[in-house]
Structure 1
């Protein structure tokens, strides 16, 4: 508090201008008192709200005035401290009211520095306190929502540093909060996902979009990646300048696993685990279609089991299923990982052999026929001999589309069957 240095006798002259200014300030009162705690001057507006008029108070003893208003008794020690040279600032709820004042008390000195009285300045701060409480309440509510949210939430700087994270982010990633707050989102984002995320952030910062959502992967503390749904918005200042990002992070690993399982079941044969006909035809189209950049010599094989219907009718469908699994295992063991092998019908299998000419492809087909012939399958107490016929068609620059290739290899298979089966055509 600024200590007044004018003698009380001269106060109405030297302090008059300042006090007039104070009087014009809304919600402010100034009281000057001498060392006997008599009110020398009272000006302003605050005191009038509580039944005190300047002309009634000036010249009276504060001790006597307060004695008639005991609810103000807590102020009396502050007045005495002021004339002892002490200053104080404190909040005071006006009795019988919901209004609050900030009160400042201090000594009044003459030109020689001697204390000749004291000064009290009272400012009504009710609205300010209410606004502060509202802000505190809002902050407390935000903190509860932020910390207790089942979804991960993070405050991120414009450079990508984590400024604040909740417990759900820690659970999703496996990192403690201290580790995350010392890192950036770039450090834990899968390299393949980072570009798209940064592109969205640039558009968000530039004001082109208000928010965005992105499926991406975070590197977890255990070294594995977790799929998340990231939702990001931006907080701007009063000047519309970007301040920070707010990110919501949802663990979608279970959903992704479910999608992978559904996709696998949609594209694979449940009995043998091989890809099915729709997936095979799609892959075949991509490999031999006109849009492929580098055409390589390849061949298409179509394998059909000999006498499979009779086996099913005689031994039952369980026996037939075991034979199909056996064939899938034998052929898969011979083909390379890069070759494409599928079950495309009841007892029909197809293989796309890359980087091979027709002669080598026929050699592979003969090997497969021999392998199946020499590998009987045990079904219960019986041993069943399995044979197959295989059609082969080369896929070169003139192979056409997948439908043409499949029609060609089907004709080749028909020729193998017509020649007595258990052979290649």
Structure 2
């Protein structure tokens, strides 16, 4: 476009072109004339500051706010929400009118509110300019969302215009994966009980507690009778169903404070803290009953249970050397040995 183009604003032409000057040279090899830059358009690399450029930056800021893929909220320094972008309403499921004029603490589970407020205390005091923490938000649709919250304080502005910029990143998929891997690492996949590794961790923690408070710790070792016959006669799928049924029976029989686990195969264990051998025998009595094997009336099924108890003042040590709480593996091994003694006495 040449100098005679009529501009409809910075760098924009109307499409109307003046006719050629009389006698103008229209040789195709002639270099085109350079169009001068409108004064209102800054040259690349020039310092910002013009009114049009400021307006452009404001438009860009609004566009970034509206179209940001992350949920964004502008808040008063006290946490009251002033503005939210569409990504925020999409994440939480609430329309803007349900979020504006209120803080977001009300959307947190009760047990996470104190931690969130503590994170913002340093921000409000001016100790830091940005805080980052992870929490969970209630949504309008029901399920909670795991969120990484980054909040920055904007202080270098006109008096009375200080505010907070809050970014919420949805990390639910990451946290779901972490929780699933954590669950699989500590639970038996068939019965949902703790696995052997987690049981030993719990026992490792229970033993020093018992020694510190002079309280006995009892371990029950359980082995199903004739389980191999179930697999041989009815198949491994039936054997799995039997293990699941016994796992449910085990949950129903132990006390809320007890720890039940499947060690592997048809072997299970129960940790009973602050429990003497005599008290553990009451749990054993409950476990030896029940209808967990009722689907297999053609087989003589049952459970053999051994008990090992750490010593405490005035208690039956059930095979422990006086004053020796021992290790988790040692106590479990003693309970295993007692279980085999029970089988031998029964002739099975």
Q: TM-score with structure 1 length normalisation?
A: 0.61
Tell me the CA shift for residue 198 of structure 1.
3.4
Q: Give 1 or 2 for the bigger CA radius of gyration.
A: 1
Equivalence for 2:309: 394
In structure 2, C-alpha distance between the alignment counterparts of 1:246 and 1:257, rounded to whole Å: 27
Q: Is the 8 A contact 2:73 2:82 kept in 1?
A: yes
Tell me the CA shift for residue 193 of structure 1.
2.8
In structure 2, C-alpha distance between the alignment counterparts of 1:378 and 1:139, rounded to whole Å: 73
**SS of 2:295's equivalent?**
strand
In the alignment, structure 1 segments of 5+ residues that lack a partner are: 1-95, 101-126
In structure 2, C-alpha distance between the alignment counterparts of 1:199 and 1:363, rounded to whole Å: 47
The change in CA–CA distance for 1:368 and 1:201 in structure 2 (over 3 A counts) is closer
Q: Is the 8 A contact 1:393 1:405 kept in 2?
A: yes
In structure 1, C-alpha distance between the alignment counterparts of 2:293 and 2:112, rounded to whole Å: 49
Q: Is the 8 A contact 2:246 2:292 kept in 1?
A: no
**SS of 1:150's equivalent?**
coil
Tell me the CA shift for residue 240 of structure 1.
11
Q: Does 1:383 align with 2:298?
A: yes
Equivalence for 1:170: 89
Q: Does 1:255 align with 2:174?
A: yes
276-285 or 326-335, larger mean C-alpha shift = 326-335
In structure 2, C-alpha distance between the alignment counterparts of 1:291 and 1:177, rounded to whole Å: 55
Q: Is the 8 A contact 2:154 2:163 kept in 1?
A: yes
Q: Does 1:358 align with 2:239?
A: no
In structure 2, C-alpha distance between the alignment counterparts of 1:258 and 1:205, rounded to whole Å: 34
Matches for 1:122-271 after TM superposition, within 5 Å: 131-204=50-123, 208-221=127-140, 225-237=144-156, 243-271=162-190
In structure 2, C-alpha distance between the alignment counterparts of 1:192 and 1:417, rounded to whole Å: 48
**SS of 1:349's equivalent?**
strand
In structure 2, C-alpha distance between the alignment counterparts of 1:97 and 1:213, rounded to whole Å: 46
**SS of 1:378's equivalent?**
coil
The change in CA–CA distance for 1:234 and 1:367 in structure 2 (over 3 A counts) is closer
Equivalence for 2:263: 344
Name the structure where strand makes up a greater proportion of residues: 1
Q: Is the 8 A contact 1:377 1:384 kept in 2?
A: no
In structure 2, C-alpha distance between the alignment counterparts of 1:295 and 1:217, rounded to whole Å: 40
Higher RCO (Cα < 8 Å, 6 or more apart): 2
- Residues 233-255 of structure 1, C-alpha deviation per residue, up to 9 Å, x if partnerless? 22221699992221110222233
Corresponding pairs, count: 297
